[in-house]
Amino acid sequence: MKTSEFSKIRTSGVGYFINSVQTLFVGLLRIWTIPIVLMLSVASGFTTYYGLSHFITPWIALIITIAIQSIIVICSLEIAGMHWQANRFRYFSVVCSLLVALTASVSFSYFKFYEISQKDTLHINRLNQIRTDVKSYVDRVLVIKGEVLKQQRADMEKATLDVQQAYFGTHAQIVDGYKHQVGEGPFWKHYNQIYQEKKQQQAKFEQDFSELDKDIQKLQVSINALDVTTNIESAYSAMLENFQNVQLKINLLSGNIGQSLPEAPLLMTYKQFTADVQPSFAMWSDFSLFAFLCAAMVEFFTVLLSYRLEFTAPGPLTAEEEDLVFECLRQFTEFRINKNDELEMTIEKSEIERARRYSDWSRMFAVGLLLSRGFLRKIDDKTVEFAPNLYPLIAEKMSDKINKLKAESNIARQAGADE
């Protein structure tokens, strides 16, 4: 067997399989991150545009929204690839741009999430407002009703007493010559007529108030139905009709009793009752923490995934890069096992290397390559540690070297035996 054939031996062992699976998984996550970031940007852009379009022209709002979302993604990517100590002015300008874009996006997105979160609350508040207005109106009418019925009973009792006294001749208005004459005389007929009129008037009032009570009961039932019905339009129409009936009965009673009754409240129309929340800066006075957190959460995930998209390793090493990295890492001499149970190595020149003015450009290039690909993790300025996905690669390379040396040794031994 030729030496060149042994040099081409490359086993497909467990190490390479594990490393391939890990790098494939990392690569798929990176690829999947891109559409997720785009979808989050679209979702955030929609809520931002929705809130912004209520304050400015829609096409201008669309342009501003695209600019805001682009700034968020671009600044997040730039921050991941920047070091603040290298160019502090640029770093802080990018951070400030990101904060301004996030503030604008969260502020206008808040209006949409506020509308969604407060939809049921708004319906309940409007329904409670109708109940309060109607209840206040009905309560004032019922107070007057009680006073009227009380006065009617008092007048009826007086009229009954007058009739009795006129029948027995003991009424104070009877002249002395007709007193104590029992019977249905002219005084009795006069007071009896008053009694009958009071009696009819009381009966009519009781009937009218009884009908009013029935209409009030129907009104209250129709108001309660607004909270459970599926057809709000018909239920609201029935409620308004019942309210108008109550109002009409009260107006008629106002003319009969001869005194003004409370003015009816002006209820909202069906369109006002079912109107959506109109975004305005007044929403901040009624601050909703849930709506704000929902708006901020979308932006947080957009920034985080955009940052990780640039920060994470872009993919596996090629075969040529694997050979280069292995050869360059072998040039480092100081290794140890750190507290994380990971292999740690010193990337700084040793004293001897400094004295010999050793050029470590190639091995530092390999370190930078592995750091950018996620195969090494930086501990401090002087040391780095192996990431889990680097061990199988190095192990396989070491296995190849050992197998190659064994093959060359066997060839040399066989050649010596043949001689």
Where do the structural domains in the chain lie, given as residue ranges?
13-118+299-310, 129-268, 319-416
pLDDT at 177: 61
**Considering only CA atoms, which of 140, 418, 389 is closest in space to residue 263?**
140
Q: What does the alpha-carbon distance between residue 89 and residue 186 come to, in Å, rounded to a whole number?
A: 112
Give the model confidence (pLDDT) of 330-382 as tens digits.
888 888 888 878 888 888 887 787 788 878 788 888 888 887 777 787 777 78
Q: What is the pLDDT of residue 260?
A: 67
The candidate with the shortest Cα–Cα distance to 303, out of 45, 65, 71, 67, is 71
Burial tier of 108 (Cβ tally within 10 Å: 0-12, 13-18, 19+): buried
Find the angle CA(233)-CA(135)-CA(137) to the nearest 5 degrees: 100
Residues in Cβ contact with 390 at an 8 Å cutoff, skipping those fewer than 6 apart? 370, 375, 376
pLDDT value of position 63: 92
Q: Are strands 376-378 and 343-346 parallel, antiparallel or unpaired?
A: unpaired
Tens digit of pLDDT at every position of the chain (419 positions) = 444 443 443 444 566 667 667 667 766 777 787 888 889 888 888 888 888 888 888 899 899 999 999 998 888 888 876 666 657 788 888 889 999 999 988 888 888 888 777 777 777 888 888 888 888 888 887 777 777 777 777 777 777 777 777 666 666 666 666 666 666 667 677 777 777 777 777 777 777 777 777 888 888 888 888 877 788 888 888 888 888 888 787 777 766 666 666 777 888 877 877 777 766 666 677 777 878 888 888 888 888 888 777 655 556 677 777 788 888 888 888 888 888 788 888 888 877 877 888 787 888 888 888 877 777 877 777 888 887 777 877 887 788 777 777 777 777 777 666 66
Confidence at residue 100, expressed as pLDDT on a 0 to 100 scale? 92
pLDDT at 99: 92
Helix (H, G, I), strand (E, B) or coil at 230: coil
131-171 residue pLDDT tens: 888 888 888 877 777 777 777 777 777 777 777 776 666 66
Q: Can you tell me the distance from the alpha carbon of 184 to that of 156, in angstroms, rounded to the nearest whole number?
A: 19
What dotted CATH number matches 319-416? Answer: 1.10.10
Q: Residues with Cβ < 8 Å from 292, sequence gap 6 or more?
A: 106, 110, 113
Q: Are 100 and 192 spatial neighbours (Cβ–Cβ below 8 Å)?
A: no
Angle made by CA atoms 339, 341, 342, in degrees to the nearest 5: 105
Instruction: Determine the Cα–Cα distance for residues 62 and 82; give it in Å rounded to an integer.
Output: 30
DSSP 3-state of 280? coil
Q: Which residues contact 152 (CB under 8 A, 6 or more apart)?
A: 198, 201, 202, 205
